[in-house]
Amino acid sequence: MVNKETADEKTLQEKIKAMREGGKILGNLLRDLKEYVKPGMTGKEADAWVRKEIIKRGAEVAYDSLEEKFPGAICISVNDELVHGAPKDEPFEEGDKVSFDLVIGYKGYYTDSAFTMIVGEKGSPAVKKMISVTESSLYEGIEQVKPGAHIGDIGHAVENVLRKGHLGVIENYIGHGIGKSMHEAPEVPNYGKKGHGYKLVEGDTICIEPMSCLGKPANYVDKDDNWSVKMKDGSIGCHCEHTILVTKDGYEILTLPD
């Protein structure tokens, strides 16, 4: 008879190994994408490059497996688009804000990461600050991760940085657990109270993904493509994300590049 505890430990180690490898592929791909994107390139051209690179690097296009088919390999959200942006034919312009959000499959497990950038050399100082503050909130949230920490500890840390930066805090789109499925329990909001919510344990894998905006946080799904989430007031949205492993004494960011 197979010892259940031994079998569970073996499964956990297989998961961690696959997600470490997949996360590294994803981190390197997004690093290279940031260098690849230039003014004049269209969203669909960037999407085609990403699709080719996912396959070339031995991973799977995760969005192809969605029950409701997404029209691309990566979410590309431009300016007033916040998340889930469908790749489009319009070219990126100098100074555009673009958020890229990518999930890939590798050896039966998923990893998920996102970053926001300004296209070209120019850009609004307010947008640059928004990106910097949102990235800082992501890492402040990550710093809370360890066995015994609560989901509320993460959300509280993220929200605190965003509000101090005078940014709108998006509450209706949140982070999540990840592993065999793209979205698993627990939910990981970008707001919360210390000591509240699910208590993390070693081996958990979660996605922390702060979303912010320069205006009011109200948003809606664009009826033209039924995917792109846009800011109601037309302000600029921002999104950053990493997949995190809860380790014995803290955390490991799985989606960093080499």
The pLDDT tens digits of the residues spanning 108-132 come to 999 999 999 999 988 899 999 999 9
φ, ψ dihedrals at 99, nearest 5°:
-105, 135
In whole angstroms, what is the distance from residue 28 CA to residue 35 CA?
11
The token duo for 233 is 């007031």
Helix, strand, or coil (residue 56): helix
Residue 4: per-residue pLDDT: 59
Q: How many domains does the chain have?
A: 1
φ, ψ dihedrals at 84, nearest 5°:
60, 25
The pLDDT tens digits of the residues spanning 66-113 come to 888 899 999 999 999 999 999 999 999 999 999 999 999 999 999 999
Residue 68: per-residue pLDDT: 85
Residue 1: per-residue pLDDT: 40
The token duo for 125 is 């100082």
Report yes or no on 73 lying in a domain: yes
DSSP character at residue 62: G
The pLDDT tens digits of the residues spanning 1-55 come to 445 566 688 899 999 999 999 999 999 999 999 999 999 999 999 999 999 999 9
Report yes or no on 97 lying in a domain: yes
In whole angstroms, what is the distance from residue 72 CA to residue 64 CA?
8
The pLDDT tens digits of the residues spanning 160-207 come to 999 999 999 999 999 999 999 999 999 999 999 999 999 999 999 999
Cα maximum dimension of the chain: 64
Report yes or no on 179 lying in a domain: yes
CATH code of the domain covering residue 111: 3.90.230.10
φ, ψ dihedrals at 224, nearest 5°:
-70, -40
Range of the domain at 15: 4-253
pLDDT level of residue 249 (50, 70, 90 thresholds): very high
Residue 235: per-residue pLDDT: 97
pTM for this model (two decimals): 0.96
Report yes or no on 258 lying in a domain: no
> Closest by alpha carbon to 138, among 152, 124, 155?
155
Residue 3: per-residue pLDDT: 56
